[in-house]
C-alpha cells in the first residue's frame, strides 16, 4: 500500500452472549467477527510487527475487555500475504458479495473508490451518529488526518497511521555553503537560493526533487503534489482534475529551473534505481536538500537498521516545512504545505454484528492499543496526537511532523482515476527534466489526463 503505512491481518471469532450475533461468517462455533488486511505473519515478513501485535496484544486484551462486559469472545488469527492490488480486489469482491471481514483495512487512497461503489457506508449510518461522535479519539486527530478515511466530508472509518513530507537538509554542507543550521525557507525562491549556494560546494547535488517515471509514485507524492499545493491548488477540486492550468505550469517551471540550472541531477531522475541512489548520496553527504517523507528519517537514515544508515544523522540532518510558492499562496492560504498518506479501518456494511465491530474498531485505535503497537515496532506517527506526544517525545523529527506538519498537510485524491493521472504527472516532469519546454510538457499532460479520466469536461485547464 502507499506511503509506507503498515497493516495487519487477523480473524476474531466471537460468541457474543450479550450482544447478539456477530460477524459475516461462521467458523463452526456459531458467530464470527473478522479483521482482515494485507500482512504476513512470519518473523521478518511484511508487517511482521503488526502481526505479532495482533497475536500478543490485541487478541488477549480485547478478549479481556469483552469478558469484563459479560461477553465471551473467542479469537483466531489468520494472516494474508498477497500483493496490494490482489488484496484490494479480494476485499472489493468480499464487500460486494456480503462476505469477508467485519472490520476491513483500507489504504486511504481507496476509500473514495469504495464509497463511490457503495461497498462501504458512513460510520454514522452503520453505528449511529451519536455513538460515532461520542468516541473520544476524534478530538485527538487533526481534521487533515481524519480525511484519510473520509470522502466528500463523510467519515467511513477510523485512521490508523499517517506520515508527512518535509525538506531534509545536510547541516554540514549548509555550513560549508554559508547557510544556517536552522534553515526554514518561506518561498520557492529561497529554496533555489539555497541550492545555488550549495552548488559552490564540490561534489554536491544541491537539490534532489523527485522527477520522472523511474521514481514512480515518489515523483508524485514527494515532488509534484507538494509543489502543486504550494500554488494553492489540489489535484482534484471542484469535481475536476487539474490539467494544463497556470498553477500546474508554475510547478513545471520550478522543475525546469532546478534541472536547467543543474541544481538537481537530471541523469539520476532517469535511473531505474534513482531513488535508492539519491538516498545513498544523501547519507554520504553528497546531496544538500531532499524532499521526502518521515520514513526517510526513521527508515532510510536510521543509524540502527536503516537501509542507508547515517551514523551522524541526529546531528547532521535538519528538516524544514515545505514552503508555499510565496507566503500565503498555498492551499487554504497556508504559508507551508505537505502531503500525507496512510490508511485505516472500516466496518463491512453486511456485518451481522456492527455493534461489536464498532467496539473492536475503537479498541484498536485506543491509546493503549497504539502504545502496544509502537512498543513492538519502533516509533512512527499514529493518527492520534495524544499518543504521538508521548510515544514520539524522544524523536524530534517525528515530533516535528506530528505537531507542525500534520495540521497543514493534504492528501491525494481517493479516486480510481488517480493512478493514471499520477503517471501522467510523472511523465510531465520527465519531459521537463529532459529538455521539453514547460508549455509543451503541460499541454501533453493535459491531453493525457483527459484520456485518463474519460473526457475534457472532467479536466480543468486555462
Rounded Cα gap, residues 321 and 33, in angstroms: 43
Q: Quick one: 296 and 245 in the same domain?
A: yes
Q: Quick one: 88 and 176 in the same domain?
A: no
Percent of the chain residues past pLDDT 90, beyond the cut: 70
Q: What is the pLDDT of residue 31?
A: 46
Average pLDDT, the chain: 88
Over range 186-207, report the average pLDDT.
98
The residue ranking higher by pLDDT, 293 or 84, is: 293
Q: What is the pLDDT of residue 100?
A: 76
pLDDT in tens, 211-254: 999 999 999 999 999 999 999 999 999 999 999 999 999 999 99
For residue 30, what are the contacts with CB-CB under 8 A and spacing of at least 6?
Answer: 15
Rounded Cα gap, residues 360 and 103, in angstroms: 8
The residue ranking higher by pLDDT, 169 or 15, is: 169
pLDDT band at 28 (very low <50, low <70, confident <90, very high): very low
Q: Quick one: 61 and 176 in the same domain?
A: no
Q: Which of 267, 241, 291 is nearest to 446 (CA)?
A: 241
Residue 27 has pLDDT above 60, yes or no: no
Residue 82 has pLDDT above 80, yes or no: no
Q: Quick one: 291 and 170 in the same domain?
A: yes
Residue 317 belongs to some domain of the structure: yes
Q: Quick one: 199 and 293 in the same domain?
A: yes
pLDDT band at 12 (very low <50, low <70, confident <90, very high): very low
Q: Quick one: 300 and 436 in the same domain?
A: yes
pTM equals 0.86
pLDDT in tens, 173-185: 999 999 999 999 9
Q: Quick one: 192 and 234 in the same domain?
A: yes
Q: What is the pLDDT of residue 286?
A: 98
Q: Quick one: 391 and 456 in the same domain?
A: no
Q: Quick one: 148 and 239 in the same domain?
A: no
Residue 448 belongs to some domain of the structure: yes
The total number of structural domains in the chain stands at 2
Least confident of 7-11, 75-79, 130-134, 395-399: 7-11
Q: Quick one: 37 and 59 in the same domain?
A: yes
Burial zone of 305 (CB within 10 Å; 0-12 exposed, 13-18 middle, 19+ buried): exposed
Over range 371-391, report the average pLDDT.
87
> For the chain, what is the radius of gyration of the CA atoms?
23
Residue 339 has pLDDT above 60, yes or no: yes
Domain boundary, last residue among 387, 411, 435? 411
pLDDT band at 427 (very low <50, low <70, confident <90, very high): very high
Q: What is the pLDDT of residue 22?
A: 37
pLDDT in tens, 242-288: 999 999 999 999 999 999 999 999 999 999 999 999 999 999 999 99
Burial zone of 60 (CB within 10 Å; 0-12 exposed, 13-18 middle, 19+ buried): exposed
Say how far residue 330 (Cα) sits from the centre of its chain.
20
- List the CATH number of the domain containing 257: 3.40.190.10
322-323 sheet: strands from edge to edge: 322-323, 336-340, 409-411
Residue 8 belongs to some domain of the structure: no
Residue 6 has pLDDT above 70, yes or no: no
Residue 22 belongs to some domain of the structure: no
- Residues facing residue 25 across a β-bridge: 32
Instruction: Yes or no: say if 418 and 347 are a contact pair by the CB < 8 Å rule.
Output: no
Instruction: Give me the DSSP letters along 346-404.
Output: EE-TT-S-HHHHHHHHHHHTSHHHHHHHHHHH----BS-HHHHHHHTTT-HHHHHIIII
Q: What is the pLDDT of residue 279?
A: 98
Q: Which of 451, 455, 458 is nearest to 423 (CA)?
A: 451
Q: Quick one: 194 and 268 in the same domain?
A: yes
Over range 325-332, report the average pLDDT.
98
Burial zone of 44 (CB within 10 Å; 0-12 exposed, 13-18 middle, 19+ buried): exposed
Domain residues for the domain of 314 are 164-338+413-460
Amino acid at each position: 500500500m502507499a506511503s509506507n503505512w503498515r497493516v495487519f491481518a487477523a480473524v476474531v471469532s466471537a460468541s457474543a452472549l450479550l450482544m447478539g450475533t456477530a460477524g459475516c461468517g461462521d467458523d463452526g462455533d456459531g458467530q464470527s467477527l473478522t479483521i482482515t488486511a494485507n500482512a504476513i505473519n512470519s518473523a521478518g515478513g511484511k508487517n511482521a510487527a503488526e502481526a505479532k501485535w495482533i497475536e500478543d496484544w490485541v487478541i488477549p486484551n480485547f478478549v479481556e475487555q469483552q469478558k469484563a462486559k459479560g461477553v465471551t469472545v473467542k479469537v483466531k488469527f489468520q494472516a494474508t500475504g498477497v500483493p496490494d492490488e490482489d488484496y484490494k480486489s479480494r476485499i472489493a469482491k468480499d464487500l460486494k458479495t456480503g462476505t469477508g471481514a467485519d472490520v476491513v483495512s483500507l489504504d486511504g487512497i481507496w476509500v473514495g473508490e469504495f464509497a463511490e461503489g457503495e461497498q462501504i457506508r458512513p460510520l454514522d449510518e452503520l453505528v449511529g451518529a451519536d455513538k460515532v461522535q461520542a468516541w473520544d479519539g476524534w478530538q485527538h486527530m487533526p481534521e487533515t488526518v481524519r480525511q484519510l478515511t473520509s470522502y466528500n466530508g463523510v467519515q467511513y472509518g477510523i485512521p490508523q497511521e499517517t506520515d508527512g513530507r518535509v525538506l531534509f537538509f545536510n547541516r554540514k554542507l549548509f555550513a560549508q555553503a554559508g547557510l544556517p543550521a536552522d534553515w526554514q525557507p518561506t518561498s520557492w525562491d529561497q529554496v533555489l537560493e539555497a541550492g545555488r549556494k550549495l552548488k559552490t560546494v564540490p561534489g554536491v547535488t544541491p537539490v534532489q526533487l523527485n522527477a520522472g517515471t523511474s521514481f514512480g509514485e515518489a515523483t508524485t507524492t514527494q515532488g509534484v503534489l507538494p509543489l502543486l499545493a504550494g500554488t494553492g491548488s489540489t489535484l482534484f477540486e471542484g469535481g475536476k482534475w487539474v490539467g494544463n492550468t497556470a498553477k500546474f505550469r508554475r510547478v513545471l517551471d520550478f522543475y525546469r529551473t532546478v534541472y536547467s540550472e543543474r541544481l538537481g541531477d537530471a541523469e539520476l531522475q532517469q535511473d531505474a534505481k534513482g531513488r535508492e541512489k539519491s538516498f545513498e548520496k544523501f547519507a554520504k553527504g553528497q546531496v544538500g536538500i531532499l524532499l521526502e517523507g518521515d520514513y526517510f528519517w526513521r527508515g532510510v537514515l536510521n543509524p540502527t537498521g536503516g537501509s542507508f544508515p547515517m551514523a551522524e544523522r541526529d546531528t547532521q540532518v535538519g528538516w524544514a516545512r515545505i514552503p508555499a510558492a510565496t507566503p500565503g499562496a498555498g492551499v487554504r492560504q497556508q504559508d507551508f504545505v505537505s502531503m500525507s498518506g496512510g490508511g485505516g479501518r472500516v466496518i463491512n456494511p453486511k456485518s451481522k454484528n456492527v455493534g461489536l465491530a464498532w467496539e473492536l474498531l475503537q479498541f484498536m485505535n485506543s491509546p493503549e492499543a497504539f502504545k502496544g503497537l509502537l512498543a513492538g515496532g519502533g516509533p512512527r506517527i499514529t493518527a492520534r496526537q495524544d499518543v504521538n506526544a508521548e510515544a514520539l517525545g524522544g524523536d524530534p523529527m517525528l515530533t516535528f511532523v506530528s505537531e507542525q506538519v500534520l495540521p497543514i498537510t493534504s492528501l491525494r485524491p481517493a479516486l480510481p482515476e488517480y493512478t493514471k493521472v499520477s503517471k501522467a504527472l510523472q511523465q510531465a516532469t520527465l519531459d521537463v527534466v529532459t529538455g521539453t519546454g514547460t508549455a509543451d510538457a503541460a499541454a501533453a499532460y493535459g491531453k493525457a489526463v483527459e484520456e485518463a479520466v474519460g473526457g475534457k469536461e472532467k479536466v480543468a485547464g486555462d
